[in-house]
Structure formats: structure tokens, C-alpha cells
Structure 1
Amino acid sequence: MKIIKWIKRIAMALFLLLIVLLITGFIFEKISRAIAEKIKPDGQITEVGNHKMHYLKEGTGGPTVVFETAFDPAGHLQWYHIQKDLPKTYTTFSYDRSGILWSERGTNPKTGEKIAEELHALLEKSKAPKPYILVGHSFGGMLTRFFVQKYPQDVAGVILIDSQYPADEKYLSPELHGMVNQGLPGGFLKFANTFGAARLMFRNMFPLSPQYKYQNSIMPALLYKSADATLEEQDHMKSIKTEAAGITSFGSIPLYVLTAGDKTRYDSFIKDPKFKTEMLEAWDKMQKDLLNLSTDSKQIVLPTSGHYINQDQPKIVEEAVNEMVKKVTAQ
């Protein structure tokens, strides 16, 4: 009987400790959000449709290099260091998709077409000089297909940075396809976001070098704003991929495909050697297939870079952007 009593006491103590931790976390989150609300945007805010959107524009004159972010709560911050380093003799433009960081969510559905429409309206409102060179990383690379399809007359070039391939089931076994497309645990992350744990989990999302000090301070501070919209994009991922797979040609619009080549880049989440080999081989095939989007395309493989080429080797991205600018302005 004494053992049962002690078990009950320990269980009650653990329960009370959990309640205290949740209350503490909730209060911590409320205070953190109040502080974050005072952070001023680093770019500009403008009305798009029925909501406000945030963008960062650098440089003057055309063309405008337009950065599209991956499936990522960091929004425009993924391009912040690159924009600061690129020449100011042409315009660079990054933004936060609806619901991310300083952009309001609005009411448009999270479809590829609506995301393209919002971006185009934002570019028009900001008076970004045409033509546009689209630079898309991962999920953002897939989203460029919708923009090119809808506004081909405004697009002078496209740079895909380790872009997602929408019809990946063509190259992956059912087991591996399910593994790499399972997504984030939405319910857990929403819970963690409410009780202050999410901002701690994502506090060092960027490298810990001085170059990323600003990003590492802003992203977790504003994660509470970005989390729901990011998870909403995940909910629409399957339908976006299906629609993107139907967009198979950019015509003769110049295209660069930057591909990660580090053979160890999947080690952290694919433990089975057979699946890891399959993933590496499949990704190489998908990246080569992306070249067929344009009659004027070339691939740049980076043997020492992981998926986040914009963090691992930003200078290569900058070189590709400058080369594309020269190419389209010489035409």
C-alpha cells in the first residue's frame, strides 16, 4: 500500500510540475510576443488585395532579381545576407509570403496560383523594375513555375536552387516517397508555439557566424507569426505539387539549375544506407530533369554543399545571379 501511495504522490508531483511549466511557458510566450511586436520591419509594408505584405528591396534600376523562399518560417531572411552583398546597380527583391514574419495572412488560399498573383501584385505596388529574374530555393523553386506560367512576359530568367521536383513519385520508391513527404508534426508544433517551446527549438536555425546574427535574432522572435502559415503551406503541399507538375515548360527563358552535391547531406534523417543511396540518385535525376523546363538551361553542381546552398555557399548564388543579370541585359 505504501508503494501505491508513493506512486500516486510522485504522479501528482509530476502533474503539478507540468502545469507549472506550461503556465510559465505560456507567460514567457505572451511576454516574448509583446516584445516582438515592437520590432520594426527591415523592409517596407504595402497593401496587396485585402492585407498588408512585407518586402525588402535593394538597389536601383532593372532587372529585378526576385527571391522566393523555401518551405520555411524565416521568409525573406533566407536571402538577407545575399541581398546585402549583391551590387546595387540592379534591384534585388525578397518578401514574406502571406502570414510569414511581417506579412499579414489575408484570405487568399495557399495555392501556387494565388501565391504567384500576390507576388506579382507586390512587385507592381513596389514599382520593382521589369523584367524579373526569379530565384527560388527548394519549395520556392517549385513556386516559380506558377509565376512563369501566369506572367511569362515579365520573366527574363530563372535560377533554381536545389529546387523541389513536383513529380518526385516518378523517381522514388513508395516507401522513400512517404518518408520524405511526411512533413512536420503540425499538432505538436502548434502546441509548442503556444507555450513558448517553439521559439527555443528554432532559435539557431541559421549558422552561428556573425553574418547571421540578425537572422538568428529575428526568426525565433517572430516565429509565432510564421508558424501557422508555414503549416498551412504544408497542408496544401500535395495539391501545389500536383499543379506544378503540369507546368513543364518555360520556353526559351534562360534557366540555371544549382544542385547540392554533398553526399552526406541526408545522413541526419535517412539512416538506411539503401534509402540514402536511392535518395541521392533520385535527386540527381530530378535535378537533371529540371533542365528540360527551358531550351536555354545549364546546371551547376556544388559538390560540398547541402540543401541550403544559400547558406552553405552564398557566393556561388551571388555569382549565378550576376551572371544571369549580365546574360539578360545583353539580349
Structure 2
Amino acid sequence: MKSVFTLLLLIGIIPHLSAQPVPATPQIVEVEGAKMNIMTAGFEHLRQGVPVVVFESGAGTSINNWRNVFTEVSKFAPVIAYDRGGIGESEWDGQPPGPDRVTDKLQALLNVLEAPPPYVLVGHSWGGHLIRHFSGRYPDKVAGLVYVDPTDFTQSRAEELAALTEIGVVDGETALEAMDQAYKFYTLKAPPAIKAEYAVFDSLAKLAPEERGLLPSPSVPVAVLLGARYRTPPPSPPGIEFGFEYRDYFEATIRQRVRKMSGWVTTAPEGFLVLSTQASHYVHQDDPALVVDAIERVVFPDIARQIREALANGGQELMTETYQKIKRSYPTDQLEEKLLNSLGYELLRERQVENAIVVFKLNNKEYPDSPNSYDSLADAYNAAERLEEAKQYYQRAVELAGEQGHERLETYRKKLERVTKQLEEQ
């Protein structure tokens, strides 16, 4: 875990030293007796049941870290960004900021703000480890995870060494020690709380992945965004030599991260990994539109999947309830007739005829003026050999198509003729 994080830290050149202002206005709230600097926006979206998006910054980085994406995300979801204790304008309580402590403090903040679950957590770098830790401790409160060039909390020592072996480094242990010394050099002037944070992940890095206290993550949508644009690190501190080309090592770690983190998304109910050659470690600053889009996709996950799951778990009643909830919270441009229509035909192809009928019925109810909604339901009844009902709905499709001058009128008529003939021959 540590060597790659060290690499990213060095390339970032200590981000907290160069923070810039954000357009939103921060405010101070008291959490467990300490002042915490936060920003909130977009809470009007709570009325529609949209999950709250919570930003978790990288090591030693303030809420300014999210300046390029915060306002854009607030246009479609409630958003919260905050400074961890001793970072930015938040007070430090003097306690080691281990993952348990940080996630408990975050939960306390969410309680103070009366921000209800579920949450979509967005974590950059070390923040990626922290949101993964939160999801394990509070699985019922998490709706999705967005990792922005995260620390690999699953990386083993053997994998650290493998990246160096790949580029021809013979003594990997010495090379890792050199990077460790370099990162300690560049953090000598960091404030006490930030040094304490570095000490936490330094201690975690010495542990095997299974010893890092991560509980099972909930089955939620996951996005992983990786930056592949190389940034030249600062010169090596006096007396420290890496013994390899930094760019070669960077490229080897990128390959390793893609292989490893692909597993994070393929085991999720919905997941995607994006490797951006336009962005460095700070993807959200170099390519903010990519991050905003990823967050939106996780906030509003695939509707067809949710309908399928509802059908499988609770039948028509749960499916209708799920769809109405989606209808209240999702942007209107994501709810089109073709969505349910396509799902219905997928179910027909899978020979789930009765489920297809249920979906087409909902589609017809939602779009009663559409000739196609009647035609599709008729197709499902036809597949179920319920010919009288098929004829009824083909007839209505023909009537509406005639009134509207619909381009598929003749297709509907031919279907009506066929099913009428079948009934006559019985």
C-alpha cells in the first residue's frame, strides 16, 4: 500500500501546501466538542430522495481539494465536504486519526447535519481507504462508492516489490526504503495533525491486507477513476537515490493498479473503471467533468437492474414501488418509454414471459397515449398465448396509431390481422 501512495504523494508535491479557494462558502460546526470546517449544498434534492454525496479528501488535504466538482455535483444531489481534524480549518482533538476514529467522526458530523443515509462516498487517494473503511463499518448506510485515484488498501508487500521487479530493480527493499525516506523528508514541515495522519497509513502499510481492519463492503455500485498522466516528482532529497527511472516505476504501478482495481468493480452489482491519460493523481482537478459524471452514475444507478431485482425479490408490487421511488428521485431525462420497453423485450428473450407482461403493463400505465406501449404489451400476451388479450391491445395500438399518424401503423395492423386469424382458426 505504502510505496504507491508514496509515489502519488511525491508527484502531488504535498497538496495541502497549495490549496486554492472554493466557490461555496465554508462554515464551522461543532462535532463532539471540536470545531469542524464543512461545506454543504444541494440539500433541496433530499425531497426527491436523492442520496447524500460525501467527499473524503486525500491525506493532509482540505475541502479546497474538491473546488472543481463540488458545485456541479450539488446541482443533482446533496453534497457535503469537510476538513478532518487538524486539517484546513478543523480543530484536532489530539487523538491518532486512525480509520475507526475518522469514520466515527464523520458519522457524528452527518448526525449533527441531520444528513440522512444512504450516502454515496467519494474518496480521493487516502480518502479512498477511508470511504472503504466507512462502508465496512456502516454498510446499511452506503449507496455507492467513487474512488478517485485511491490508495490501494488491498496491496501486499509482495505486490509492492513486484512493480519494482517488473522494471528491473534487483534490490526492491532498498528502493522502497529510499521512497519511504523521501516522503518523510517532504513531510517534515507538515502540521502535527497531518504528520499524525501520515503515521497512521505508515503503520497500516506494515500490515498484511487482511490485518488492516476492513470489514466486508456492501453490494453497491462502485466507480474507480485512475489518473495515468505522469507528473515529474520533486528532486530526490540530499543523499537519497531511488536507483530506477521514476517514470518506469509509475507506469508499472499504473498497470498493477488497473489489474487490481478491475476486481473492485467486477464484483460490484454495477461498476466501472476509467483510466484517464488526461489526468494525474488529482483527477478531480485535471478532469473534473469525468468525476462529476462518475458520481452522477453512482448516485443514479441503472434503472433496469433495479427493476429486475425488485421483480425477482418481490414481484409486481415491489417492482411498482421501486419504479415510483426512482421516478421521484431521478432526472426526468433518464426516464423514457424505451427504458421499460427494452427491459420488457429482454425478459421476453429470456423466456420470462410473465415478468415481461408485468413490465409492459407498467410501461403502458406510464405511457397510455403511446401506441407502442400497447403493441409491446400485446406482444407479451401473444408470447403467453393469451390471444384475446393480445388482440385487445393490438387493436388499441392500431386505433392510437391511426389517430396520431404513427409511422408503425401498418406494422400494428398486420399483427392485429395475424392474431385475429389465429383466434378464428381455433
Q: Does 1:95 align with 2:82?
A: yes
1:161 partner amino acid: V
1:229 partner amino acid: A
Q: Does 1:247 align with 2:246?
A: no
Corresponding residue for residue 192 of structure 2: 228
1:50-65, aligned counterparts within 5 Å?
50-60=33-43, 61=46, 62-65=50-53
Corresponding residue for residue 82 of structure 1: 69
Deviation at 1:118, TM superposition (A): 0.2
1:97 partner amino acid: R
- The alignment partner of 2:300 has SS state of helix
Deviation at 1:248, TM superposition (A): 6.3
CA distance in 2, matches of 1:91, 1:240: 32
Corresponding residue for residue 156 of structure 1: 143
Corresponding residue for residue 275 of structure 1: 249
Among all aligned residue pairs of Structure 1 and Structure 2, give the percentage whose two residues are the same amino acid.
26
- The alignment partner of 2:86 has SS state of coil
Moved more, 172-181 or 145-154: 172-181
Q: Across the two proteins, how many residue pairs are aligned to each other?
A: 253
Deviation at 1:188, TM superposition (A): 4.0
Out of 245, 255, 258, the position equivalent to 2:225 is 258
CA distance in 1, matches of 2:279, 2:187: 32
Q: CA RMSD in A?
A: 2.8
CA distance in 2, matches of 1:267, 1:285: 24
Shift of the 107–177 alpha-carbon distance from structure 1 to 2, 3 Å rule, reads: same
Shift of the 186–90 alpha-carbon distance from structure 1 to 2, 3 Å rule, reads: same
Shift of the 179–162 alpha-carbon distance from structure 1 to 2, 3 Å rule, reads: farther
1:1-32, Cα deviation, whole Å (9 max, x unpaired)? xxxxxxxxxxxxxxxxxxxxxxxxxxxxxxxx
Corresponding residue for residue 26 of structure 1: none
Shift of the 276–134 alpha-carbon distance from structure 1 to 2, 3 Å rule, reads: closer
User: Does structure 1 retain, via aligned residues, the 8 Å contact 2:129–2:151?
Assistant: yes
- Report which structure shows greater RCO (CA 8 Å, sep ≥6): 1
Q: Does 1:305 align with 2:292?
A: no
CA distance in 1, matches of 2:249, 2:75: 44
CA distance in 1, matches of 2:248, 2:198: 27
Q: Does 1:326 align with 2:300?
A: yes
User: Does structure 2 retain, via aligned residues, the 8 Å contact 1:251–1:293?
Assistant: no
Deviation at 1:230, TM superposition (A): 1.2
Shift of the 287–87 alpha-carbon distance from structure 1 to 2, 3 Å rule, reads: same
1:124-169, Cα deviation, whole Å (9 max, x unpaired)? 1011232100000110001112211111111100000111112432
TM-score (norm: length of structure 1): 0.68
Shift of the 274–313 alpha-carbon distance from structure 1 to 2, 3 Å rule, reads: closer
Corresponding residue for residue 56 of structure 2: 68
Corresponding residue for residue 118 of structure 1: 105
CA distance in 2, matches of 1:157, 1:126: 20
TM-score (norm: length of structure 2): 0.54
1:77-122, Cα deviation, whole Å (9 max, x unpaired)? 1112311222434201000000111110014321101100001110
CA distance in 2, matches of 1:230, 1:301: 29
Shift of the 266–142 alpha-carbon distance from structure 1 to 2, 3 Å rule, reads: farther
Shift of the 167–327 alpha-carbon distance from structure 1 to 2, 3 Å rule, reads: closer
Q: Does 1:141 align with 2:140?
A: no
Shift of the 131–180 alpha-carbon distance from structure 1 to 2, 3 Å rule, reads: farther
